[in-house]
C-alpha cells in the first residue's frame, strides 16, 4: 500500500469532482470521489479511512453542513469545506460545525492544495486528529482552565480571572480553533456571529485586552500570536477534560 495521503472529495458537480481528483492526484495524493452524502457514508462504512475530506457545502439532498457534523461525531478526520461565493455565513458555520478550514468558490486549485497541506500538517502535529475541543465543557491550556459551562477562567491555583463577555467569546473562539491562523473577519464572525459588522480593528482591541489577562508577558505574547498581514493564531496545546 502506498504512503500517499488519501483524500476523499465529495461534490455533486461532476466536473469539479473529476478535475479536483485529477489535480490532487497530480500532486501525489490518493483520491477517492463521492457525489453525495449517501456515497460518503457508504465509503466511510467501508472503512476507507481517508486522511482528509474535501466537502462541498451546497449539495442536493443532505448538505455539507450536516454531513460535516456527522463526520465530526462518528469519525476522526479533518474536513475542508467548499462554500459558495458570498455565503459569508456558511463559511463560518462550517468552521463552527467543525470543519478544519474552508475555501470560498471560486478558488484556485493551487490554493485548495495549500489548505489541504496546512490542515494535514495541523492534524499531524496534534495528538488526536481533531483540531480543537468541541464547544462545551472544561478545557485546559497553558496554565489555565477555561470552564465553558460557567463561563469562567481560572489559573492553576483555581484563582478566577474575570473576563468580560467579549473577552470570553474571543478566548472560546481561539480555544476551539487552536494552531491555525484566524483573520479578523473570521474572529468577528466567530465571536459576534452574524451581527453588525463593526470596524475591523475592534478585534485588535479585544485581543489586546485578552492578552493582558492571559499572557504572562503581554508585550511578548506566547499564546496569542500575531500573524502579520494574516490575523491572529492561538498557539497552544489545548486539552479537553
> Does position 15 bind its own copies by CB under 8 A?
yes
C-beta separation of 77 from 51 below 8 A: yes
> Does position 206 bind DNA by CB under 7 A?
yes
Q: Is 167 exposed, middle or buried (0-12, 13-18, 19+ CB in 10 A)?
A: buried
> Does position 127 bind its own copies by CB under 8 A?
no
> Does position 149 bind its own copies by CB under 8 A?
yes
User: Among 4, 32, 138, 226, which residue interacts with DNA (rule: CB under 7 A)?
Assistant: 226
Closest to DNA by CB, 35 vs 206, is 206
Alpha-carbon distance of 187 to 183, in angstroms, equals 6
Among its own copies, DNA, none, residue 204 binds (CB under 5-8 Å by kind): DNA
**What backbone torsions phi and psi does residue 160 show, to the nearest 5 degrees?**
-80, 140
User: Among 166, 179, 185, 213, which residue interacts with DNA (rule: CB under 7 A)?
Assistant: 166
Alpha-carbon distance of 232 to 204, in angstroms, equals 9
> Does position 204 bind DNA by CB under 7 A?
yes
> Does position 167 bind DNA by CB under 7 A?
yes
Alpha-carbon distance of 143 to 236, in angstroms, equals 11
Alpha-carbon distance of 209 to 167, in angstroms, equals 7
Q: Which H, E and C letters describe 62-112, residue by residue?
A: CCHHHHHHHHHHHCCCCEEEEECCCCHHHHHHHHHHCCCEEEECCCCHHHH
User: Among 75, 156, 160, 199, which residue interacts with DNA (rule: CB under 7 A)?
Assistant: 199
Residue list 89-118, contact with its own copies (CB under 8 A): 89-90, 92-98, 100-102, 105-111, 114, 117
Query: What binding mask, one character per residue, do residues 141-160 give for DNA by CB under 7 A, x or -?
Result: --------------------
Distances, alpha carbon 177 to alpha carbons 40, 86, 119, 141, 236, in Å? 25, 23, 12, 13, 10
Q: Which residues of the chain form contacts with DNA (CB under 7 A)?
A: 162, 164-167, 192, 198-199, 201-202, 204-209, 211, 218-219, 226-231
Q: Which residues of the chain form contacts with its own copies (CB under 8 A)?
A: 13, 15-16, 19-20, 23, 84-85, 89-90, 92-98, 100-102, 105-111, 114, 117, 121-122, 124-125, 134-137, 148-152, 162, 164-166, 179, 193-194, 220, 222, 225-230, 233, 235
Amino acid at each position: 500500500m502506498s504512503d500517499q495521503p488519501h483524500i476523499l472529495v465529495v461534490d455533486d458537480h461532476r466536473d469539479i469532482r473529476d478535475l479536483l481528483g485529477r489535480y490532487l492526484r497530480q500532486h501525489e495524493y490518493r483520491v477517492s470521489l463521492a457525489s453525495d452524502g449517501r456515497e460518503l457514508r457508504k465509503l466511510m462504512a467501508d472503512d476507507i479511512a481517508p486522511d482528509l475530506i474535501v466537502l462541498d457545502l451546497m449539495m442536493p439532498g443532505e448538505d455539507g453542513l450536516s454531513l460535516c457534523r456527522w463526520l465530526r461525531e462518528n469519525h476522526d478526520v479533518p474536513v475542508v469545506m467548499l462554500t459558495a461565493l458570498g455565503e459569508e455565513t456558511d463559511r463560518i458555520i462550517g468552521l463552527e460545525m467543525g470543519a478544519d478550514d474552508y475555501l470560498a468558490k471560486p478558488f484556485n486549485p493551487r490554493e485548495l492544495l495549500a489548505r489541504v497541506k496546512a490542515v494535514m500538517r495541523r492534524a499531524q502535529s496534534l495528538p488526536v486528529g481533531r483540531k480543537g475541543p468541541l464547544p462545551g465543557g472544561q478545557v485546559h491550556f497553558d496554565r489555565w482552565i477555561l470552564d465553558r459551562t460557567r463561563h469562567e477562567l481560572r489559573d492553576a491555583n483555581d484563582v478566577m480571572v474575570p473576563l468580560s463577555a467579549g473577552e470570553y467569546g474571543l478566548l472560546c473562539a481561539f480555544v476551539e480553533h487552536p494552531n491555525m491562523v484566524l483573520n479578523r473577519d473570521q474572529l468577528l464572525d466567530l465571536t459576534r456571529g452574524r451581527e453588525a459588522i463593526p470596524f475591523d480593528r475592534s478585534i485588535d482591541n479585544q485581543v489586546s485586552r485578552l492578552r493582558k489577562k492571559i499572557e504572562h508577558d503581554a508585550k511578548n505574547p506566547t499564546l496569542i500570536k500575531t500573524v502579520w498581514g494574516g490575523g491572529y493564531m492561538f498557539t497552544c496545546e489545548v486539552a479537553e477534560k
